[in-house]
Chains A and B, each alone.
Chain A
Amino acid sequence: MNRTLTYLAMAGIAVVLQTVLLPLVLQGYYKPDLLLILVIYLGLHEEPRRGCLLAYFLGWCYDGVAGSYPGLNGFLLLGVFLAVRGIVTRVNTESSPLLLVLVLAGTILQSALAAFALDFFSQAAGIWPQIAWQLPVQLLLNFIAAFALLRLSVWLQRTFMPRKTLPGLRKLDSRYES
């Protein structure tokens, strides 16, 4: 229960960052998708049933602050979560470069699913060139955000919970030692 509340709180912080604070720093309409990074983390370290429900619920909540298509982000985030779950038994989930690679792959998958869902089911038929055009910048932003979050998580863990470990961040300490 506590873990679920922590994920929800993190999603809330991500939404505030993406809607109010990051638009002040970043030019244009580009912003990193912090919820996508959270869902990839869920896919790597959360058990399937809880993770599925959480990813889908977060997606529906995301629709409250992004776009005008109810259920779209639920579908996208669930798709990304299931894709990560599909490979999780074959990779080392404690590896930090893996998380960064998965963020890049997740961004591409999310864009492809969004282009499919919007083009085939809604009136926004002309959105896929826009999504394709924005993809390189989106990849870069998500990568930088994931890298920064990894460093921040390690610093927070060391500062505030030195005796505890965060799932997936156990091996990162030496890698991100400054």
Chain B
Amino acid sequence: MLEWWHKNRPLFLGGVLILVALLWYSVSLHQKDETNFLESVVLRATGPVQAGFNRIISGSADIWGHYLYLIDTAEDNQQLIEANRTLRAVLTQSDEVRLENKRLRLLLDFKEAEKIATLPARVIAEDASSWFRTVMIDKGNEQGVTEGMPVVVAEGVVGRVVRSSPNFARVLLITDASSAVASLLQNNRARGICRGQGEQLVFDFVLRQEEVRIGDRVVTSGMGGIFPKGLVVGHVKSVNRQEFGLFQAIEVAPTVDFSHLEEVLVMLRSQQ
């Protein structure tokens, strides 16, 4: 017996260690939405270094792009002038709609939606692993950023804050596999949940009888308690309605280009 124990002790101890680690991981998942002490220390320690490197790299890229590599600048300028002209025309038309909307709101005695304060932040680092989709930003608790706050850009939803330290925070992108956003189709108001799949999203739990077309816009429904209503999530990329089953399989392409994320806005007061 003693001989058997001496022979198999390393295997037994290894098994126990791995089980303890798995158990601890399982228990830690209950505090998944809070930043633990070690994570906070790591954020504080790595944040300034990452921010420093990021500054050096973006400074060099700026010098190259703004002063040296100007081959397409004239063409870009011409395109921007054209786009500006078109947008001015659209803006004039939308001014009319805005004024009409204001008049009708007054007539109906609508309550104005509360404006949410936002805080601009710079993306300084990506996730260290290939499997997950998170980014680090240069704002943290001291600037009012806490876990659960939504993060957006002009094009739409980016994600939500999952870890924060005094001066840095980590944002879970909506394309991460653990991310889920309560959403609806802008056209027919069909509800569902957008889940991350690495680079795309899937729009789950949309009933089979709902009419969904490719290109339809998907926006947040405001039901999850994290994202306010009406933020753009993406566009429907493909629809697969099978003969049987309750729901349809819908793929959504996010409107935000996550590979070129540089500045984001943290919505400070939308936590419910």
Interface set of A (CB-CB < 8 Å, partner B): 12, 15-16, 18-21, 23-24, 28-31, 33, 35, 48, 52, 56, 60-75, 78-79, 82, 85-86, 114, 117-118, 121-124, 126-127, 130-131, 134, 137-138
Contacts and interface: CB of A to CB of B under 8 A. Distances in A.
B50 interface: yes
A47 B38 CA distance: 25
A30 B45 CA distance: 24
A75 B18 contact: yes
Given A20-B125, A75-B18, A126-B195, A68 B176 contact: yes
Contacts of B45: 12
Given A35-B128, A75-B22, 11 more contacts: A12-B49, A16-B53, A20-B54, A20-B126, A64-B46, A70-B25, A70-B31, A71-B29, A74-B21, A130-B197, A131-B131
B247 interface: no
A5 to B, nearest CB: 14
A106 B218 CA distance: 40
7 cross-chain pairs, A with B, having the tightest CB-CB distances, nearest first: A64-B42, A71-B25, A67-B132, A66-B129, A19-B125, A127-B177, A66-B128
B137 interface: no
B17 A24 contact: no
A135 B45 CA distance: 30
Contacts of A72: 25
A33 B130 contact: yes
B49 A52 contact: no
Contacts of A20: 50, 53-54, 57, 124-126
A123 B178 contact: yes
Interface of B: 10-11, 14, 17-18, 21-22, 24-29, 31-32, 36, 38-43, 45-46, 49-50, 53-54, 57, 124-134, 136, 162-163, 170, 172, 176-178, 180, 195, 197-199, 202, 259
A122 B178 contact: yes
A48 to B, nearest CB: 8
Contact of A130 (B38, B50, B54, B131): B131
Contacts of B32: 68-70, 122
A136 to B, nearest CB: 12
B198 A29 contact: yes
B132 A15 contact: no
A64 B41 contact: yes
A19 B42 contact: no
A170 B64 CA distance: 43
Contact of B39 (A16, A64, A85, A126): A64
Nearest to A60: B38
Contacts of B14: 82, 85-86
A20 B135 CA distance: 10
A79 B24 CA distance: 14
A68 B172 contact: yes
Contacts of B29: 69-71, 121-122
A48 B10 CA distance: 10
20 contacts: A18-B128, A19-B125, A20-B124, A21-B53, A23-B126, A48-B10, A64-B43, A68-B32, A68-B162, A69-B28, A69-B32, A72-B25, A86-B10, A117-B22, A121-B26, A122-B32, A126-B202, A127-B178, A130-B131, A137-B130
Contacts of A127: 131, 177-178
A16 B50 contact: yes
B42 A65 contact: yes
A56 B21 contact: yes
Contacts of A29: 126-127, 130, 133, 198-199
A68 B128 contact: no
A71 B28 contact: yes
A38 to B, nearest CB: 13
Contacts of A138: 130
